Amino acid sequence: MCSSLWTEKYRPQTLDEIVNQSEIVSRMKKFVKERNIPHLLFVGPAGVGKTTTILALSRDLFGPSYRNFVMELNASDERGINVIREKVKSFAQTAAISPEVPFKILIMDEADSLTSAAQHALRRTMEIYTKTCRFCLIGNYSENIIEPIQSRCSVFRFSPLSEQDLKGRIRSISIKENLQLLDEGLDAIYEASAGDVRKAINLLQAAAAVQGGVIDDVSIYSVLGQLNPTRIREMVKLCLKGDFLEAREVLRSLLIEEGIAAEDILKLLYFEILKSDIAEEWKVKLSDTIGEVDYRLTQGSRPEIQLSALLAKLTLAGEEMHR
C-alpha cells in the first residue's frame, strides 16, 4: 500500500479532473482560454474544492511551473494588514512574469477572518496592484466580506458535494489503495463528512491505518470515536460536578499545550453541551451564554478569561440542576 497523505495525493491537478462544481469549472476554463481572470471570491464550506479549483486553474494557466506565479497567503496566519501589504507588494513587484500571462495570482485563504478595517486596507492594495496581480479570496461566508471587495470580485459559491460525487470519489480512492470498502463503511463516511471531501478522505485513510484492508461502518465509527474531543467532554463534566478549578486546568492545557484557538474550543464545547444529557431547558439557557461569549471573544483581549467565565456559569448550572 502506497502511503502518503491521500488528500494531497488525490487532489485534482487540472480543472478537467475536478468532478463536481461543474458550472464553476466551466467558467474557470473560459478564463484560462481567454488568458485573463477577474479578481475572484470563492465562498463555501470546508472541503468542497475552493483551494483545489484555484490551484488547478493556476496550473492550467501558467503550466507546470505555476508555483512561480502564484502566492498563497492565509489571512488567519498573517498577523496584520501591514504584513499582508508588504508581502503583496514584494510579490507584485519582484516575482517573475510569465511570457503568456500578464499577471500573477495571489490566493488569500480564510479572507473572511480579516477584520473589516483590514479588508478596507486590502481593497486599496487590490486596486494598486490590479494590473500585475489578480486576487483570489477564499472564505466560508460572503457575509463576512465587505461590500466594496465583493463588488470588485466575481463571486463563486461552492456547495457541498452531492452524495453521488462524494461516494464516487471515495470509492475510486479505495480501489486505487487496494482497500475493501464495504457499502456500510462508505455510508458512514458520507454521513460523517456531510459533503466535506477532505474530511471524508482523511477518515478513509485513518480507518485504513487502524483497520488495514477491510473497512466497514464499525471501523469508521471507531476512528470518529478517537477523533472526538474527549478533553472538552472532560472539562464539561468537571464543571457539572462542581470542580471549576480542575476544569480551568483542562482549559489552560487545551489553550496553551494543545494550542487550540478559543473560538474552536467554544465551538466544540457548544456541540458537546448540545449532545450531552443535561436538561433541555438548560441547553437553551446555555446557548444564550455561549453565544454571548462567542461575541465577547472578538471584543476582549484575554480569551482564557472569557472561556473561564463560561465554565463558571456551567458550574453554576451544574449545581442548580442537582438541587
Partner 1 sequence: MRNEPVSWTIRFRPKNKKEIVDNKESVERFLSWMKSWVNGIPEKHSVFLYGPPGVGKTSTVLALARDLGFDVIEVNASDYRTSKRLEEIVGRSISLSLTVTGKRRVILFDEMEGISGREDEGGISEIMKIIKESRIPVVLISNSIQENWEKFLPLISLSELIEFNSIPFKDVLNWLRDVSTKVGVKVEEEALELIAERSAGDLRSALNDLETVAGGRTQVTLEDVIILGDRDRQTYTHEALMKIFSSKSVKEARQVISSSYINYDELFEWIYENIPYVLNDPRDLSEALNHLALADIFEGRANRTQNYTLIKYMFTLMTGGVALSRKHSDGTGLYRRLESRLLNLGLPPNSFKISDSPRGLSVKPSRYLGNDWRRINETIRKLGGYWRKTEKIWFLPYFRNPQYLPNLKRTWYIRQARDTLIAKISKYCHVSTRVALVDLLPYLKIVFEKDEMMAREFSRLFELNDKEENYLKS
Among the residue ranges 36-44, 89-97, 128-136, 310-318, the one whose residues contact partner 1 (CB under 8 A): 310-318
Q: How far is the CB of 247 from partner 1 (least distance, A)?
A: 10
Helix (H, G, I), strand (E, B) or coil at 14: coil
Per CB under 8 A, the list member of 83, 97, 175, 209 interacting with partner 1 is: 209
Q: How far is the CB of 115 from partner 1 (least distance, A)?
A: 9
| Residue 217 vs 304, nearer CB to partner 1 | 304
- Rounded distance, CA 173 to CA 167, Å? 10
Q: Which three cell numbers stand for residue 45?
A: 464550506
Q: How far is the CB of 245 from partner 1 (least distance, A)?
A: 5
- Alpha-carbon torsion (46, 150, 26, 88), positive or negative: negative
For the chain, how big is the Rg over CA atoms in Å? 23
Per CB under 8 A, the list member of 97, 261, 279, 321 interacting with partner 1 is: 261
Contact 222, 298 (CB under 8 A): no
Contact 38, 153 (CB under 8 A): yes
Return the residue matching grid coordinates 484560462: 32
What residues contact residue 242 under an 8 Å CB cut-off, 6+ apart?
315, 318, 319
Identify residues 223-252 at the interface with partner 1 (CB under 8 A).
223, 226-227, 242, 244-245, 248, 252
**Among the listed residues 267, 259, 269, 266, the one whose alpha carbon sits nearest the alpha carbon of residue 238:** 269
Among the residue ranges 33-41, 129-137, 176-184, 311-319, the one whose residues contact partner 1 (CB under 8 A): 311-319
Contact 263, 294 (CB under 8 A): yes
- Rounded distance, CA 305 to CA 58, Å? 44
Q: How far is the CB of 63 from partner 1 (least distance, A)?
A: 19
Among the residue ranges 82-90, 123-131, 154-162, 222-230, the one whose residues contact partner 1 (CB under 8 A): 222-230
Identify residues 9-38 at the interface with partner 1 (CB under 8 A).
none
Residue numbers at the binding site for partner 1 (CB under 8 A): 1, 3-5, 7-8, 46, 51, 55, 72, 74-77, 109-110, 198-199, 202-203, 205-206, 208-210, 223, 226-227, 242, 244-245, 248, 252, 256-261, 264, 296, 299-302, 304-306, 308-309, 312-313, 315-316, 318-319
